[in-house]
Amino acid sequence: MIDLKKTEETTLIDSEVREKKNKSNKSLLLGLILIALLGTWGYIIWDKNNTKALIAQKDNTISATASQRDELQKELEDATIRYDIIKTSNTKKDSIIDVKDQDIQIKKKKINSLLAKTNATQSELDQVKMLIASLNTDIEGYKSQILILEGQKVELTKANQSLSTQRDNIQKGFDSSLEELKNRDETINIGSTLHASNFSIVAIDEKGNGKLKETTNAKKADKLRINFDLDENMITPSGAKKLYIIIKDPSGKVITTQESDKFITQDNSFLDYTQQMDINYTKNQRQTVSFDWKSGGNFIIGDYKIEVYNNGFKIGQGIRQLKKGGFLG
């Protein structure tokens, strides 16, 4: 026969065991959940802190990059200012300067392009730094070349001044020599100029029968017979000599055959002349010149003045007075 009391006790014990086991399982599950929650919260807190650190690091990186870019921009501006000053002071260029100028402009353009990037990388900023260093080197080379050119310009200026001084001295010497030659030529010209003397001027009355008779009557005069001597001259060489004869009527007017009859004097003025004569002169010998001159119209009362020129100088003159006729004409 089954012991009911023992069975109930056994059942009761199993129930208690199961209940304790269930409580233990619940406690374990609760602990695991709590641990999971704590882990989750810890991860969230760690991730949040890590994110803040990354953001802070990124901000610091951006800030450092911006600061570095600003510094590089300032260096570029300083280099540009120095370059502009050098260019402004440069008054002379050559092919070397032009090439350096082109290189500098290319590098400046590249630098500005990199600095204009909002999210420029450190590598690009390092490249900018290298380009600016190279730019400064180019600017110093540009400056050195200009100094060399300026030095050459100074030396060239000195050389030009020296050459100018030499040229002026040579020109002065040449002018002085030319003046001496001119004076000597003038002296020789003056010394070789002939001299006329012993003027004889008579009015001639040509009769119908061919006879000639001297007269002082203006109405009867048909021509003037002019004679004068060319004196001895040891300087004048033998050969053809040109004489200009000026005959002035009593009013002082030069009697000419045409308006173009002019010659130039030693003072560079032009004079009308009445007649030109070419004579063959023999050195250091006196010789007589004689010729007749007929007026284109009637002679008038008054003094007729005859002047003779050679080498632009007046070498002699004579006067013939023609009078009014007597009671019988």
278 and 217 in a single domain? The answer is: yes
Q: Are residues 63 and 188 in the same domain?
A: yes
Helix (H) or strand (E) holding 148: helix 122-192
Shared domain check, 244 and 181 = no
Q: Are residues 222 and 295 in the same domain?
A: yes
Q: Are residues 103 and 222 in the same domain?
A: no
**Could you give the CA distance from residue 72 to residue 111 in angstroms, rounded to a whole number?**
9
Nearest 5°: phi and psi at 281? Answer: -95, 140
pLDDT digit string (tens) for the chain, length 329 residues: 455 666 666 666 667 667 766 767 777 777 778 787 777 777 777 777 776 666 666 555 555 667 777 777 788 778 778 777 766 665 555 566 667 777 778 877 888 887 777 777 888 778 878 888 887 887 887 777 777 777 776 777 877 787 778 778 777 766 765 565 455 555 556 888 999 999 999 999 998 888 999 999 999 999 999 999 999 999 999 999 999 999 999 999 999 988 788 999 999 999 999 999 999 999 999 999 999 999 878 899 999 999 999 999 999 999 999 998 765 55
Q: Which of 192, 211, 227 is the last residue of a domain?
A: 192
Rounded to whole angstroms, the Cα distance separating 314 from 17 reads 173
CB burial of residue 84 (10 Å; 0-12, 13-18, 19+): exposed
> What are the structure tokens assigned to 317, written together?
């003159």
Q: Is residue 89 part of a domain?
A: yes
How large is the greatest C-alpha to C-alpha distance in the chain, in angstroms? 229
Q: Check whether residue 295 and residue 226 sit in a common domain.
A: yes
Closest to 243 in 3D by CA, of 288, 211, 180: 288
| Inside any domain, residue 17 | no
Report yes or no on 215 lying in a domain.
yes
Residue 39 lies in a domain: no
Domain that residue 317 falls in: 196-322
Counting the structural domains of the chain, the total is 2
Q: What is the pTM of this model?
A: 0.46
Same structural domain for residues 164 and 228?
A: no
